[in-house]
Amino acid sequence: MAHKNHLVQLKEKINKHFSAGDFRELVFDLALEHDNIPGATKLERIIALIDKLDSNNQLPKLIERCHHHRPKVVWTYQAKLFIAYKRLALQDQKLATHIFDTLTSFGHSVFIDQNMRTGEEWLDRIDSEIQTSDFLVVLLSEDSIDSEMVRSEIFRAKEYQKAQGRPQVLPIRVAFEGMLPYAIASFLNPLQYIHWQSPSDNNKTVEAITQAINNNLPEQPDPFSQIPATEAALSEDGRLLTSTQITSPPSPEFDPRFIKRLTAPGGAVRLSDKLYVERQEDSDLREEIVRWGSTITIRAPRQTGKTSLLMRGLHHARGYGAEVVFVDGQSLGLDEQSEFDTFLRTLAEILCDELGIELSRVEKVWNGRLGSQKKLTNLIEDHILPQFDVPIVLAFDEADALLTTNFSQHFFGLLRAWHNRRANPMTPEWEKFNIALVISTEPYLLIDDINQSPFNVGLKLDLVDFDLNQFSRLNVQHGIPLDEAAIIQAFNLLNGQPYLTRKLLYLLTAKQQSWDQVSEKALLDNGPFGDHLRRLNWSIRTQPKLQHTLLEIIRTRKSSNEDALFRLQKAGLVTQNGDVVTCRCGLYEQYFEQKLK
């Protein structure tokens, strides 16, 4: 069966390039009777003919005869493709150019942004091209997997695919055999990869893309997607380290896939502390998470290290014998169409699976007539808690992902109800049930009734960016690449933003760049932080209110739009101290001041 878009193209081209008489001749050339083809008009007969030939796998014969009659017309399927890659990676750029040149010569429409200028028009063009593409071809190399723009392009493609059925994401491993970051792997088809090792694979790679375009690329599992069974170490920000790695590029987010092995008894995955800065929140979390009946909220902007903090707390809890159940809110695929019963059923299955309880218990409990909240509460109370004599820690990362649903208030109210059951002498088993929540927004905005909120009880940890002392300690841990004057300059620019701080120190140490080299190009779209800055700019590019509010904050240190302020805080762009609102760091202020003029 042909690709449905190809069928549409064929119908349009035959209708355009063949008159009624010419079409009759074409049908005769196919050894068919024109009058036997159903339809009152030429177009209706064209549609009927193509559908018939496609169902009989005879479309190639039609294409061959169309080419014979109209040789100047391209009759093969003309797909629209977007190539996502790391622009400054030479190997990736060469492969992207080869794919572009070859597929374009085949008649396909291929977008590549090598010569695009940066700015709002560029961001709009990128989004438009992804939206209208049939395929997003993403080059996954050691350089590109950490690109925030590449990750954003994949995420945007999956959003459009969910809404309109395309584009299809087609991953190509470019001389890279390591595990893909969770933020990328979770959006890809695990059975459809193309592997490129050297320029000798160029033609083979294009052929595989062509097969995918024609809907006949063989499925094959990704051999590098499995978590290694051997002992492993995680970097301070959650990246799997190889035995030969001393340092690694900073990761934009912690990889939650390692939580099972990280919290397993005598776990084969250990946490590397070589470049980790211990904060007071680490000590507070370790103390609270092993207590019976604790509720913990970790609140922090994006890329502050909150998931890393949580993982270390869970690792500590497991070492004390606690059972751990980890839920990643982002991986649940929640949106406004999500149903509460389905979500709670999924949560019930996760609890049982992680704790080694037969899933048949879920089926049994869910067959009753009670509401789903009561069903899940009964499952925990009657079938889970009685089986354990140690605390069970339910850790919910990215809890504000529930804001996209219509039931977030109900779920947060349910968590508060579980917290309250600990004080009921009739339900002492709930003392075993600990709750840890990680959010990147203000808790009071997640639920209307503060008395129903799980965020205003228990231990509340507000994680902030590194202060100057912590920044200086990290500099020492990296071998003092910054002198005293440069430390002050770098801190004034980045204000201790953890991800950017780690990226800076990685560039200075592993890439042997000087502070002067980094600072000179810090604000450029193709500079050392350009990938990060362009991703932030892209995130607000279609939001005039956010842009206006951000510029207002830069100029006046105030915001007149509370909703826009909240969203900018959630995105990690601004911070508020009393009535004063500022950009999170000098880099953001200088970059957006020139972008939003």
> How many CB atoms are located within 10 Å of the residue 189 CB?
12
H-helix segments, 294-339: 306-319
Q: Model confidence over 232-253: pLDDT tens digits?
A: 778 887 787 766 666 678 888 8
Q: What does the block give as tokens for 359? A: 């899933």
The reported pTM is 0.83
- The domains found in the chain, sorted by start residue, are 4-69 (no CATH), 80-213 (3.40.50.10140), 232-462 (3.40.50.300), 468-520 (no CATH), 533-595 (1.10.10)
Percent of the chain with pLDDT over 70: 94
Secondary structure, 3-state, 120-145: HHHHHHHHHHHHHCCEEEEEECCCHH
Q: Model confidence over 77-119: pLDDT tens digits?
A: 889 999 999 987 889 999 999 999 999 998 899 999 875 555 5
Region 168-185: mean pLDDT is 88
Tell me what pLDDT residue 404 has: 84
Most confidently modeled range among 92-96, 146-150, 455-459 = 92-96
Largest Cα–Cα distance in the chain? 88
Please give the residue that has the higher pLDDT: either 356 or 231.
356
Q: Using an 8 Å Cβ cutoff, are 117 and 88 in contact?
A: no
**Which of these, 471, 464, 500, lies nearest to 487 by C-alpha position?**
471
Q: For residue 282, what pLDDT band results from cuts at 50, 70 and 90?
A: very high
Please give the residue that has the higher pLDDT: either 582 or 402.
582
Q: Model confidence over 285-303: pLDDT tens digits?
A: 999 999 999 999 999 888 8
Region 210-238: mean pLDDT is 78
Give the Å distances, CA to CA, from 14 to 37, 42, 79, 107, 108.
15, 10, 17, 17, 18
Q: For residue 267, what pLDDT band results from cuts at 50, 70 and 90?
A: low
Q: What is the DSSP string of 584-597?
A: SSHHHHHHHHHH--
Three-state secondary-structure class, residue 387: helix
Q: What does the block give as tokens for 224? A: 């590098």
Region 419-435: mean pLDDT is 92
Region 347-358: mean pLDDT is 94
pLDDT at position 444 over 70: no
User: Whole-number mean pLDDT of the chain?
Assistant: 88
